[in-house]
Structure 1
Amino acid sequence: MKDHCCRSGRTARKRRQKQERSIQSVSLCHQLQYVRLMKFLHQRGFTSSLLQPAHFTDTGRGLQTLRTVKPGQLVISLPESCLLTTSTVLDSYLGQYIKSWKPCVSPLLSLCVFLVCERHWGQSSDWFPYINVLPTTYTCPAYFTENVMAVLPATLQKQALEQREAVRELHSLNQDFFRSLQPLLNQPVDEVLTYAALRWAWCSVNTRSVFMSQPPSNFLSGQDVYALAPFLDLLNHQPDIQVKASFNDVTRCYEIRSVSGTLRYQQAFINYGSHDNQRLLLEYGFVAPCNPHSVVYVDTDLICDVLSGDRSLVQKIKFLRENDFLNNLTVSGEGPSWRLMTVLRLLSLPQTLYHHWKAVLLGQMVCDDREQWSIETAKNLCQRLLQDAHRALDKISRLLQQCDQSVREQLDVVKSLRQEERCILGSCLKVLQGMLRQPDELPSCQLDVDTVS
């Protein structure tokens, strides 16, 4: 990825428009699985003459406009009867089992179990037309092999391991509930509700559901905000697209309304939110090209390693943690974040100035030589991160030569993230170099009421 791919603005928009003209698409609406899906939805009250499923050379499967979408125009209006929610599950054959189980299961688990059971029933399932178009595997960290986990950035690796463990616990801690469902199945329950099956269902809900708050239920525990939206969930994410998406209580439909419009025969997009690519990979299993929100995270362990010679480091880190200042330390192509520089400014102070630490967190400046120390430290951190990105990319190249297709797909996503990381860090280092002063330009450090020395 080139440096300019990390920037947004008029040049980036022109480049993207040129790329869009070269993107090819192939309609999927005549394939049997999509014919079945549309018939299933039409029977439930959904009609769509504006969008069709298509395969695009840049993003894969998505939705293509058949007519120009004007700004403010309604793109999709999916009736409530087409949505798969916990109400759907509680009204199904699973309902009596969930309602009688104590302690109550979570909304997420109820949806996951329903998906697994519906897939188990195959074509006899009412929801088969939808299940049949869901991906059979995902590139979310819950699926990652150990080799792929090992080439993730440090902060993302921790979150990825937590995600995988959360899915494992969801499976292992609910074995008794699964066994209670045996009367519903024509195979042993441990052959149906396997870890692999639950992982597939969990990723299906986590990556494809829309936010839709459900009324509290006496039979479920925890917040209920998931809704699976067939056809609508074929929309891909683009960071700079603006849409309005919500459930309309009057029409009883989940609606997507375009803000800026889309030209005829172009791909229609949705926006999942202002997420950087680490978040997109963790939650959705993909990386968005030219993402204006992209950053590189600086892990606390790396800061401690770089500053290991500071005898008061433990106390400073404890102070930063108590003041909730060790999260979201980042750099972008435009330089280090304010939050990271504030942390480094505090770390530049000696223990004798402990009484000034809180003031620095609140934005009080430090003197020039300590500011320059903070910039140098930020530069050192970026260089270390850049070295790590290079090592990871080298390892990914070797792994790609000897892996199967499923692992290749995982590695390709991580490779894109690491290439972007390398680009961001290169740009940030140039910014930091420009912030450094020559030694003879530095004034002496004087302590006064306005400046911490």
Structure 2
Amino acid sequence: MASNQSKASRTLRRRKRNRKSLHSQIPCLDEEYIALGQWMKRNKFRQQRPFLSAATFKTTGRGLMTHHAIHAGNTIVSIPKHLLITPHTVLTSLQQHITKWDKQLSSQQAMSIFLIAERKKQKSSFWFPYINILPKTYNTPAFFSETELNLLPHNVKSRALTEISKVHTAYKLSANCVRDVWPELDFTLNDFLWAWYSVNTRSVFYKHEMCEEFVDDKNYIALAPFLDLLNHSYCANITASFNKKSNCYEIQTEDTYRKYDEVFISYGNHDNTHLLVEYGFVLPNNPNDVIEFSFESVLEVTVKMKLSHLKEKRSLLQTGEYDRKLCCCKDGLSWNLQVALRVLCMDWTELKNWKTVLQGGSISDSNEQLSKTMASTLIKTSLDRCRENLTKFLDLHCDTMTEHERLAYDYICIERTTLQSALVCVQS
């Protein structure tokens, strides 16, 4: 009897754990996700253990959930080559049009045109089950209104505008190509933005021979249906490559997961500015996150502090390229910023031995103290700018913010937290 009671107790505890685990995610039973699975199965996609399926998670939204425990070294996804959309796939489909043009498109432009053409075919397209589950829009700044763009910090907005300009240039060239050789396709800027960011946010690195018909920009990309449902985590440890033996694109994880956990991949060691501009999301507690300072903003602080011999100091730093990569993170200052501040705070006698700081040495106690003061002033100035940026949201209610407004707000809050941590480090 005692043995049976113990067994029943263990079963009850296990069920409670499973219910607790399942509470944070809901399986995606939408028709389009079921259709995607059926389509892939018809086309020789086979899942061995672990079995993954689409689910909606409380913190990350749509992702992939495992139905089995995963151990380090397991292959979590294996996509057959014929289900990858590569530049060669595109060329096979569009060659009759593209080769008529007297200029070259990039692989990403060609893949974007391909997606637009296949989406217009609707259910008659072989790729329809995949295209049908792609987001209808994205949260990258290219989709922001002018008002929403103005909510971003100046440096992020500047970088976003550069990216937007690049995409608009790509659109104009692509539209010219289609107008000349395939006028019946006829697509808008919004169509192109959707296709471009479908490729930009979801493609994987896939080494292949570059197509001679496209610009040789070394942009080795492919779209991998189902695999691209995996979300990013900065701590995910994976290996992704094409397996010639299985003729599949595979992802192997070095992490462990419990049954019903969300499974992650890593897009790379990116800070939140990159994640926002390129992918349309930000991550709190991102260990790769940094706050950049322009050399001009650093020099502005030296002027306020009335430091001398700035012309000579500026020349020294620029010659050694210590005027770049000036940033801080929650753990303190970058090496280049430490060097720059120490050099800028030297008196004329100390400046003769400025290279001492390159070996991590200290010039003098007074120089160290002045450098700390300058660093604190620089960070406090950025914190004031953060507070000023947050005032733009005073008239916006949390519950009624658009996704883009919320994204800009979250970015600034994360930036403020990083600066506050860096300030504590500097002053300690």
Q: TM-score, normalised by structure 2?
A: 0.87
Deviation at 1:246, TM superposition (A): 1.4
Partner residue, 2:14: none
Task: Name the CA distance, whole Å, in 1 between partners of 2:311 and 2:44.
Answer: 62
Distance 1:158 1:304, change over 3 A: farther
**Kept in 1: contact 2:21–2:260 (CA 8 A):** no
Task: Name the CA distance, whole Å, in 1 between partners of 2:106 and 2:122.
Answer: 25
Q: More deviation in 319-328 or 106-115? A: 319-328
Deviations 1:350-369, CA, capped at 9 Å, x for gaps: 57766545564565542221
Distance 1:105 1:304, change over 3 A: same
Deviation at 1:130, TM superposition (A): 1.2
Correspondence list, 1:339-350, <5 A? 339-350=336-347
Q: More deviation in 243-252 or 303-312? A: 303-312
Task: Name the CA distance, whole Å, in 1 between partners of 2:145 and 2:44.
Answer: 42
Task: Name the CA distance, whole Å, in 2 between partners of 1:183 and 1:145.
Answer: 29
Task: Name the CA distance, whole Å, in 1 between partners of 2:149 and 2:359.
Answer: 37
Task: Name the CA distance, whole Å, in 1 between partners of 2:119 and 2:243.
Answer: 30
Amino acid corresponding to residue 230 of structure 2 in structure 1: L
Correspondence list, 1:10-29, <5 A? 21=21, 24-28=24-28
Pair 1:33 & 2:28 matched: no
**Kept in 2: contact 1:45–1:81 (CA 8 A):** no
Amino acid corresponding to residue 417 of structure 1 in structure 2: Y
Partner residue, 1:277: 272
Task: Name the CA distance, whole Å, in 2 between partners of 1:22 and 1:394.
Answer: 39
Partner residue, 1:62: 63
Task: Name the CA distance, whole Å, in 2 between partners of 1:69 and 1:75.
Answer: 8
Deviation at 1:395, TM superposition (A): 1.1
Deviations 1:19-61, CA, capped at 9 Å, x for gaps: x958611111x32111221122223221236000011111110
Task: Name the CA distance, whole Å, in 1 between partners of 2:349 and 2:22.
Answer: 62
Distance 1:78 1:345, change over 3 A: same
Distance 1:323 1:171, change over 3 A: farther
**Kept in 1: contact 2:308–2:347 (CA 8 A):** no
Task: Name the CA distance, whole Å, in 1 between partners of 2:316 and 2:152.
Answer: 29
Task: Name the CA distance, whole Å, in 1 between partners of 2:21 and 2:293.
Answer: 38
Pair 1:80 & 2:90 matched: no
Task: Name the CA distance, whole Å, in 1 between partners of 2:399 and 2:312.
Answer: 46
Q: Secondary structure at the match of 1:308?
A: helix
Deviations 1:363-392, CA, capped at 9 Å, x for gaps: 554222122111111101111111111222
Task: Name the CA distance, whole Å, in 2 between partners of 1:348 and 1:223.
Answer: 44
Q: Secondary structure at the match of 2:303?
A: coil
**Kept in 2: contact 1:346–1:361 (CA 8 A):** no
Task: Name the CA distance, whole Å, in 2 between partners of 1:291 and 1:223.
Answer: 29
Amino acid corresponding to residue 426 of structure 1 in structure 2: Q
Partner residue, 1:47: 46
Q: From 404, 427, 431, give the equivalent of 2:425.
A: 431
Task: Name the CA distance, whole Å, in 2 between partners of 1:304 and 1:397.
Answer: 32
Task: Name the CA distance, whole Å, in 2 between partners of 1:44 and 1:420.
Answer: 44
Pair 1:290 & 2:285 matched: yes
Q: CA-atom RMSD, angstroms? A: 2.5
Task: Name the CA distance, whole Å, in 1 between partners of 2:36 and 2:22.
Answer: 29
Partner residue, 1:421: 415
Task: Name the CA distance, whole Å, in 2 between partners of 1:228 and 1:318.
Answer: 47
Deviation at 1:208, TM superposition (A): 0.6
Correspondence list, 1:9-408, <5 A? 21=21, 24-28=24-28, 30-48=29-47, 50-92=51-93, 94-185=94-185, 189=186, 192=187, 194-221=188-215, 222-309=217-304, 312-313=309-310, 316-317=313-314, 319-350=316-347, 356-357=353-354, 360-361=357-358, 363=360, 365-399=362-396, 408=402
**Kept in 2: contact 1:154–1:299 (CA 8 A):** no
Task: Name the CA distance, whole Å, in 2 between partners of 1:142 and 1:317.
Answer: 36
**Kept in 2: contact 1:70–1:260 (CA 8 A):** yes
Deviation at 1:114, TM superposition (A): 0.9
Q: TM-score, normalised by structure 1?
A: 0.83
Percent identical = 35
**Kept in 2: contact 1:65–1:267 (CA 8 A):** yes
Amino acid corresponding to residue 58 of structure 2 in structure 1: T
Distance 1:343 1:61, change over 3 A: same
Partner residue, 2:11: none
**Kept in 1: contact 2:87–2:211 (CA 8 A):** no
Q: Secondary structure at the match of 1:328?
A: coil
Structure 1: where are the runs of 5+ without partners? Answer: 1-16, 435-453
Q: Secondary structure at the match of 1:26?
A: strand
Deviations 1:121-161, CA, capped at 9 Å, x for gaps: 22222211111111111111222233333333343222211
Deviations 1:263-306, CA, capped at 9 Å, x for gaps: 00111111112222222212211112332222222233322332
Task: Name the CA distance, whole Å, in 1 between partners of 2:194 and 2:312.
Answer: 44
Amino acid corresponding to residue 43 of structure 2 in structure 1: R
Amino acid corresponding to residue 148 of structure 1 in structure 2: E
Deviation at 1:307, TM superposition (A): 2.5
Distance 1:148 1:313, change over 3 A: farther
